[in-house]
Structure 1
């Protein structure tokens, strides 16, 4: 079973995504499920662990949540974008399903029981433990932070593919850790970084760094706009970027 690709096509808005979740076209629904999973399954697992659930129960609850979406088009029937951000809507539905204990009434589905969603819960637990000391009293903020980081990983995946396609993987490998950091914090000089990136001059290095930062910002904004309806996306971009680092 292959892992969920970070390069699936994305809907233009959250309402488009929700529309696909409601679709009677199985192919459209399957793609929507993959996109929701890609963005939300790791943050949902992190949230479950922080609310006191153990590893197996957290894994089961996430699998059951997506199983519910796969088999029920009604889960998002009331979402019209006016209730707030899609991630808020997602966590609200997830919390309701946790509190209803539906996952305990289901056949155990941990370990790849949903064919459409090959979720790696070893990875999920590793990431949870890496950041377990953060937001210890605020699972909701931890969910937002995990969501922001997941979006950022999608940005980096897109950039990596783009630079690879252009035969500039060496440039990407050196520059992508610098996108959100100050050059003054680096142990290597700008000239040394330029040499590592295979760039002929310091000016080329500065141009390429500016370009990759601009590309990353554009892609992050694009992804965020797909999760917020109306004009709130700019504030959402600022909020989520603060949580990425």
Structure 2
């Protein structure tokens, strides 16, 4: 169970997510598809661009994929949660649709097709350009890396909300760059960072940083467990964190 509160109400395990994706209850299914879309649409765009597609073609391919998932009740019928990573299943289906040229034959209104999910392709292109030099010859690893960044950003957003609620936003903003980094890589000393964060001592600084790292780890694990069945989530956490770091 997560140490952080969340307003999303999303399932805590991959099996719960699969049940909701297969649900005949439109609201539960829409909620689950919305979760998947938010996590995967930007990595799919990044993957499309790295396979040589133009900006408009990549946007159309991603939109077509989610339009297909939303409009077909059996869109997730072949995924039962026991077949491995949802991420692997999604990229496999996406590649099949690209190879069949469906994405290039159907053009959807960008930003539509997935209710309540903002598909900002200007943002997606900016993200792609920022990281274009990474994994230049390995689109699938770039997809994994983009997915890891998406998950990590969700962790940071949840932590920011939690620390704002606790009236400790300054602490979070000051210590957040240290979650995955060592002190030796920071331009400021521990004393200077403690002062910047409004913490009274080095001890408080160390305790606060330890707590923040622990909370981030718990939240990241929770998100990964939503997407990976069984004990594989531990290996997945280690792999994705390497990509984030």
Residue number in structure 1 paired with 2:205: 205
Shift of 1:85: 0.6
Residue number in structure 2 paired with 1:12: 12
Matches within 5 A, 1:100-179: 100-112=100-112, 114-179=114-179
TM-score for the superposition, normalised by structure 1: 0.94
What runs of 5+ residues in structure 1 fail to find an aligned partner? 1-5
Provide the C-alpha distance between the structure 2 equivalents of 1:213 and 1:176, rounded to a whole number of angstroms: 9
Q: Secondary structure at the match of 1:172?
A: helix
1:68 aligns with 2:68: yes
The answer (yes or no) to whether the contact 2:70–2:114 under 8 Å persists in 1 is no
The answer (yes or no) to whether the contact 1:64–1:109 under 8 Å persists in 2 is no
Provide the C-alpha distance between the structure 1 equivalents of 2:244 and 2:217, rounded to a whole number of angstroms: 13
Provide the C-alpha distance between the structure 1 equivalents of 2:222 and 2:167, rounded to a whole number of angstroms: 24
Matches within 5 A, 1:38-57: 38-57=38-57
Provide the C-alpha distance between the structure 2 equivalents of 1:113 and 1:120, rounded to a whole number of angstroms: 13
Q: In terms of mean alpha carbon deviation, does 234-243 or 94-103 score higher?
A: 94-103
Task: Rate the CA distance shift 1:29–1:86 in 2: closer, same or farther, 3 A.
Answer: same
Task: Rate the CA distance shift 1:11–1:111 in 2: closer, same or farther, 3 A.
Answer: closer
Provide the C-alpha distance between the structure 2 equivalents of 1:31 and 1:13, rounded to a whole number of angstroms: 14
What runs of 5+ residues in structure 2 fail to find an aligned partner? 1-5
Tell me the alpha carbon deviations over residues 42-61 of structure 1, each in whole angstroms, 9 at most, x when there is no partner. Answer: 11100000011110111111
Residue number in structure 2 paired with 1:26: 26
Q: Secondary structure at the match of 1:16?
A: helix
TM-score for the superposition, normalised by structure 2: 0.94
Provide the C-alpha distance between the structure 2 equivalents of 1:35 and 1:160, rounded to a whole number of angstroms: 20
Residue number in structure 2 paired with 1:222: 222
Tell me the alpha carbon deviations over residues 57-97 of structure 1, each in whole angstroms, 9 at most, x when there is no partner. Answer: 11111111111111112121121223211100111111111
The answer (yes or no) to whether the contact 1:7–1:157 under 8 Å persists in 2 is no
Q: CA RMSD in A?
A: 1.4
The answer (yes or no) to whether the contact 1:56–1:110 under 8 Å persists in 2 is no
Provide the C-alpha distance between the structure 1 equivalents of 2:158 and 2:90, rounded to a whole number of angstroms: 24
Q: Secondary structure at the match of 1:74?
A: coil
Q: Secondary structure at the match of 1:29?
A: helix
Shift of 1:16: 1.9
Aligned residue-pair number: 240
The answer (yes or no) to whether the contact 2:66–2:113 under 8 Å persists in 1 is no
Tell me the alpha carbon deviations over residues 219-243 of structure 1, each in whole angstroms, 9 at most, x when there is no partner. Answer: 1111111111111111111111100
Q: Secondary structure at the match of 1:75?
A: coil
The answer (yes or no) to whether the contact 1:148–1:244 under 8 Å persists in 2 is yes
The answer (yes or no) to whether the contact 1:21–1:69 under 8 Å persists in 2 is no
